[in-house]
Amino acid sequence: MPDHHHDHPHKREIRVSFEEFLEQFPELPLPVILNEEAAHDFSKENEVLNSLIIDQYFLPLEGEMDELTEIVPCFRFPKTKDFHAIVYWKAGLMQYYFILVTISPQGVLIDRRVLAGTFVEGDIVTQSVATIDEDWIITVVTGQARSGRGALYDASTSKTTSFEVMPDGSIIDNE
């Protein structure tokens, strides 16, 4: 008697479990500083994600991504009880960002925020560095410089913003 429940065995295999997805993000003790150096460290230490994980978990978060876009898993917050907080690095042409996503234990998106990164617009380079502290308060310092040799970082352009991850996983702006 043929068993009709197993007509599509391949369908099941290409789903990546949520646990498997989370395992791509090692827990890191806080505080963590997200800057250009950290980006290089994460891309050395952590595997580039396979296309199944990208299609299943990141396309819904990021929308369309071209083939130049690379996603590197960075880490997740330790000791979050009611949600998972993961940080990944998204690199594309002339820009890259660290992105924080909070996800319920069931795998449902709670919140998403770009934390830091670099992007180039014309000859202006905008860079931001984020520090995530033990209390889940995130401080972001953003500054601009003109690109090119000997470009000076203009401290007067720098501004600081801060936000916070709440116990329910939502991300709020601090005034």
pLDDT digits (tens, 9 = 90+) for 62-116: 888 888 888 999 999 999 999 999 999 999 888 899 999 999 999 999 999 999 9
Contact 62, 85 (CB under 8 A): no
What is the total count of domains within the chain?
A: 1
Q: What range does the domain containing 154 cover?
A: 13-169
Q: Residue 150: how many CA atoms within 13 Å on its side-chain side?
A: 0
Task: Note whether residue 33 is domain-resident.
Answer: yes
pLDDT at 139 over 50: yes
Q: How far apart are CA 171 and CA 102, in angstroms?
A: 8
Task: Note whether residue 3 is domain-resident.
Answer: no
Identify which of 65-69, 90-94, 117-121, 159-163 has the greatest average pLDDT: 159-163
Q: Work out the pLDDT band at 148, boundaries 50, 70, 90.
A: low
Closest CA relative to residue 145, chosen from 133, 154, 136: 154
Task: Note whether residue 26 is domain-resident.
Answer: yes
Task: Note whether residue 70 is domain-resident.
Answer: yes
Position 28: which residue type? Answer: L
Closest CA relative to residue 165, chosen from 140, 135, 144, 143: 135
Task: Note whether residue 83 is domain-resident.
Answer: yes
Contact 86, 103 (CB under 8 A): yes
Task: Note whether residue 4 is domain-resident.
Answer: no
Task: Note whether residue 8 is domain-resident.
Answer: no
Task: Give this prediction's pTM.
Answer: 0.85
Task: Note whether residue 55 is domain-resident.
Answer: yes
